[in-house]
Structure 1
């Protein structure tokens, strides 16, 4: 028989997550271990990716512990992505998505149309 351990979340963890002021607070509240070197490079990318993952989840109305466990899972998943790839490779933000797109050719305007 396998036993799954649910971490001990602080009381009102979801309320505390909504007011967290740093990535470190998210990791601490949800009990996710992290390497400060990874977090220093990719903190915004990790939290944005976590938000993307959570957008497919409905945690509103769930008991605090269940919602926190889902958030913890999504944060772990997002963090692991940036342990193995760089923010440029993962391209979370639009500026990075378009950073390496090939330039679009200039619009062609026939010379004859300028004379009319």
Structure 2
């Protein structure tokens, strides 16, 4: 694993990543989408891995580009539209009505 990627494994907040890589970000976007941004960043890293032997400056720039792209995905879009997490992928734009939940719960309680 590239040493730069080993170093960022200790980060826990989205702002730590963004500040470390010098990404200009919108705090309101990060506040609402922090986990989505980090998940998308990880997806981008998986698609475009940083080679183990890449020097730190090049690795930092590559990560900055990917993290900026991950952040920008949520500037003009929503988490539901981007479908980063499985719950959004499975929902596929469907909404669940309160009535359908009541029927489902009633059916389950009758079976129990």
TM-score, L = length of structure 2: 0.74
- Matched with 2:61 is 69
Spell out, residue by residue over 1:91-113, the C-alpha distance to the aligned partner (whole angstroms, 9 max, x if none): 001111112366xxxxxxxxxxx
Gaps of 5+ in 2: 95-112
Gaps of 5+ in 1: 1-11, 103-116
- Matched with 2:20 is 29
Q: State the number of aligned residues.
A: 91
Higher radius of gyration, 1 or 2: 1
TM-score, L = length of structure 1: 0.71
Structure 1 counterpart of 2:49, from 51, 58, 79: 58
CA RMSD of aligned residues (A): 1.7
Spell out, residue by residue over 1:39-96, the C-alpha distance to the aligned partner (whole angstroms, 9 max, x if none): 0111111111111111122312211111111110000011111001000010001111
Structure 2 counterpart of 1:41, from 32, 51, 57: 32
Write 1 or 2 for the structure with the bigger share of helix. 2
- Runs ≥4 residues deviating over 2 A: 12-16
